[in-house]
Structure 1
Amino acid sequence: MDKNYITVDVEGLNPEKFINLAVINGLTLWDIERLSITNMRFNMKEKDFKQIRHIAKKTHCRVKIARKNGFIFLFRRLFKRIFFIIGLVIFVLLIYIFSNIIWNIEIVGNKVVNDQLILKSLNKAGLKVGTYKKNINLRDIENSLLKDIKELSMVTISLDGTKAKVEIVERTMPPTILDLEKPMNIVAAKDGILTKVIALKGQKLVKEGDFVKKGQILISGVIKDHENLPIDVTRALGEVYAKTWYESIKEVPLKYRYFERTGKCEKFIYFVLPNNKIIKLWSNINKFQFYDKIIEKEQVKLLGFNSPVTKVTEYYYEKIEKIKNLSYNEAIDVATNLADEELIKIMPKDIKILERKYDKILMKDKVRIRKLILTEEKISKEEEIK
């Protein structure tokens, strides 16, 4: 008998009649056995299976393949799963390849030297994201980093899976020594009314209470005699403090125009490769006239590891222009908030506030507010004498 055959179950009120008709029609059946009063089982060639369907219909029986026997059926099953097998092989290869690539560089221990400078030096020495681990000589890279960045006294690089850990010990650098022979003036960095003048070296040209303009010389490095003739040139040293001010004027109409989100949002996704090349999966066209734009970035993960590819998602939230009729008090509140926001942006954080002044003017169709903040701060800076 053929080594490649199928085992068939037939079920019906008269399975014997089915067997007899199959044999009469020239079909070869063997190892026929009764499973129950209504069930019988037999073996046959697979190519004959289609021919027994009309016999099953005549005898009101149901037939089904119980199992397939032989190498040819095993080969077919394997062939149907060939893509799965290929995918499995590729999966294993990718795991092996990605597990031997540096996907993350962690820098610890540095306080003065910034990460970007260290990463730039590592890149030049041959260690960067995407580098194959077998191509890395850790000791050579450590020595290169020490030669490249003088602020480092010791560098230790270790590999942990796909991560390179760079441990830094910084050198205690000597304090910066001023070149006292270099001619310098002390000048005003901004306008102000002087509150304190400390001249350690050089010729003081101003006094407390003077109003000075930006760029004006406060302590001169050029020393002059009583006849106003220069007798020496030096580096002026000192500090000068002054009263300064920050002002913001805002006008808000009573017929106030503003923007409000509609709830509609468009999302566009693209990928950025290490060479800054952008790959877009589809054309991104924002159809909104007014919108808020928010950008999110994340590293693409492959098999649980961060890859050098960045996924960028852009969100566009539609806005529409609206008009609201404000009362004078509401308009004043809006203008005040706008002025406060502007002052926060332009004022230094460590400034000393002396006084706040606030003026408002109500007009026919709008309000105007003026916020003035008086401060005291250091306004002196060095400027080379040319």
Structure 2
Amino acid sequence: MLLKIYQYIRGYVRIRITGHRMERFINACNYRKIKIWDLSASDGSYEMNLWVKDFKKLRHISHKTSTKITIVKKYGLPFYLFDHRRRKLFFAGIFAATVLLLIMSGYIWDIEILGTHTQTEEVIRTFLKENHVNTGIRRGNIDCDRIVKDIRKGFDDIIWVSASIEGTRLIIQIKENEDAKIDNKTDIKEDIYPNSDAGTDLVSDCTGTIVRIITRKGIPMVREGTSVNPGDILVSGQIPILNDAKEITGYESCHSDADIFIQTQIHYENTLPRKYIKKTSVKFPRLFYLYFRIGKYRLSPFFIWSPYEHYSKSTMESRLKLLDHFYLPVYIGVVGLTPYKPVMKKYTDQQLQDKLNRYFLRYCEDLDKKGVEIIQNDVKIDTGSKEGSISGTLTIICNTGQSRQSEIPQLPNDPEEQIEQLGE
């Protein structure tokens, strides 16, 4: 394969020789180191291939051996360029496209993130963008080792990261700690207050009753069954230091960390108009428009216009790539316009109730995905002449505990007060 490509780029001719001294002609070519190949004999003549530059050396050999040379066919890029020498713009376009592809191959045009479950791809992409890693960056400026270290430092639940470059793609593979519970309220990092030695407390963000508390760092200030209000300290970041006489001589600061579950109530409310517009299909054909997108810029050979008064719009987009890993920042898209006729409809009482109930069940499913346990709901549905509504309260058990910089308490002057404070 490579030999054929080389022969095509260099160019060669196939010739036919006739005469009484054809064997002497071939020996003379060998003596003058003229390379010939695919030699064949037919009808009292010989045919062979040789390079274009060697063809000019045959005139003297032909005259000396009394043979006749006929060109059977010409092969290769030099002859193609000569035959199309007037199409300068065509070859200039090919050259410009080749140079553009070579330049674009030195940049990253696609970032693929694999293995995400807890963290979404958008969160990872935003983090990479903040660290100056995004599409359009030069491949030479990509430091895979630094990317791995930054991701592991920025996300505590990620236990393994791999970054590699394939073509114009940056592939990041992630393995998360599936056993870790991620919660923004209790996921307290040591660098929240980097310039403070006072430590951090965990405070309540809602009104309710504590049902379970598991403290890893800090001093718990509440127990199961304790009623709390927003702002109450749940876990203190100030650990008292006692001397031999059980007197408080100071406090050691730490960043509190705990799993705290609280029983509280939340309000739910939703309304739905009784009248709605139904899109009914019509016999008019759908319209399609083609467009191209390069980065953020969108180009279309057609002006996207609809002759229909009412229509829905859909877009389907595909990215261009060469081979498997040579992605380009060029997209081809199709915009579809589907006409419809709006018809005013009304929900029946049963339809209103079913639809509002579906919205409520979806809301409960979202709470369950966030780790919220619903233990009781007092929600009622009302249907009126103009709209239907659903409202009520939900009794839930959820995670609580927001981080707040703690204050170092003042040491009491009276030892009895210290003992009394310690007993509390």
TM-score (norm 2): 0.48
Alignment partners' CA distance in 2, 1:375 and 1:355: 7
CA contact (8 A) 1:359 1:370 kept: yes
Q: In the TM superposition, what whole-angstrom CA distance separates every residue of 1:209-243 from its partner, at most 9, and x where no partner exists?
A: 34434444322335799xxx996362334331012
Q: Distance in 2 between matches of 1:155 and 1:327?
A: 56
1:349 and 2:370 aligned: yes
Deviation at 1:204, TM superposition (A): 3.9
Structure 1 segment 315-354 matched on structure 2, within 5 A: 315-318=336-339, 321-345=342-366, 348-354=369-375
| Correspondence for 2:332 | 311
Post-superposition offset of 1:98: 6.6
Give yes or no for the alignment of 1:146 onto 2:145. Answer: yes
Q: Does 1:241 align with 2:261?
A: yes
Q: Is the 8 A contact 2:280 2:342 kept in 1?
A: no
Asked if 1:299 is matched to 2:319, the reply is: yes
Cα distance in 2 for residues equivalent to 1:375 and 1:317: 45
Q: Is the 8 A contact 1:221 1:234 kept in 2?
A: yes
Alignment match, 2:381: 360
Paired position in structure 2 for 1:259: 278
User: C-alpha distance in 1, partners of 2:161/2:347?
Assistant: 65
Once the two structures are superposed, the pairs formed by residues 1-386 of structure 1 within 5 Å of their partners are 89=91, 93=95, 96-97=98-99, 100=102, 101-102=104-105, 117=128, 120-121=132-133, 126-127=138-139, 144-146=143-145, 150=149, 163-164=167-168, 178=190, 182-222=198-238, 232=251, 234-235=253-254, 236-252=256-272, 255-262=274-281, 267-274=288-295, 276-285=296-305, 292-300=312-320, 306-318=327-339, 321-345=342-366, 348-363=369-384, 366-370=387-391, 372-385=393-406
How far 1:299 sits from its partner (Å)?
A: 1.8
Secondary structure of residue in 2 paired with 1:294: strand
Gaps in structure 2 of 5+ consecutive residues: 1-79, 153-159, 175-187, 242-247, 408-424
Q: What is the CA–CA distance in structure 2 between the aligned matches of 1:269 and 1:94, rounded to whole Å?
A: 25
Identity across the alignment (%): 13
Shift in CA distance, 300/244, structure 1 to aligned 2, threshold 3 Å: same
Cα deviation, residue 186, structure 1? 0.2
The code of the aligned residue for 1:196 comes to R
> Structure 1 residues 355, 267: CA separation in 2 closer, same or farther (over 3 Å shift)?
farther
Structure 2: distance between partners of 1:182 and 1:291: 61
Aligned mates of 2:385, 2:171 — CA distance in 1: 67
Does the 8 Å CA contact 1:107/1:165 hold for their aligned counterparts?
yes
Distance 1:346 1:240, change over 3 A: closer
Q: Distance in 1 between matches of 2:322 and 2:136?
A: 26
Rate the CA distance shift 1:124–1:355 in 2: closer, same or farther, 3 A. Answer: same
- TM-superposed CA distance for 1:245, in Å, is 4.4
Matches of 1:288 and 1:193, distance apart in 2: 59
Give deviations 1:49-98, integer Å, cap 9, x for gaps: xxxxxxxxxxxxxxxxxxxxxxxxxxxxx9xx969966874686477547
Aligned CA RMSD, in angstroms, stands at 5.2
**C-alpha distance 219-336 of structure 1, shift in aligned 2 (>3 A):** same
Q: Tell me the distance in 1 between the aligned counterparts of 2:114 and 2:344.
A: 55
* Contact 1:351 1:377 survives alignment (8 Å): yes
Q: In 2 relative to 1, CA 106–272 (structure 1 residues): closer, same or farther, beyond 3 Å?
A: closer
SS at match of 2:318: strand
Alignment TM-score, normalising by the size of structure 1: 0.52
Q: CA deviation at 1:298?
A: 1.9
Q: Distance in 1 between matches of 2:354 and 2:134?
A: 53
5+ long unaligned stretches in structure 1: 1-77, 128-139, 171-175
Contact map agreement 1:259 1:319 (CA 8 A) in 2: no
| AA of the residue aligned to 2:359 | L
Amino acid at match of 2:199: P
Alpha-carbon shift at residue 368 of structure 1 (Å)? 3.1
SS at match of 2:350: helix
| Counterpart-to-counterpart distance in 2, 1:251 and 1:109 | 40
SS at match of 1:209: coil
Contact 2:211 2:263 in 1 (8 A): yes
Name the CA distance, whole Å, in 2 between partners of 1:85 and 1:191: 80
SS in 2 for 1:195: strand
1-structure distance, mates of 2:401, 2:297: 46
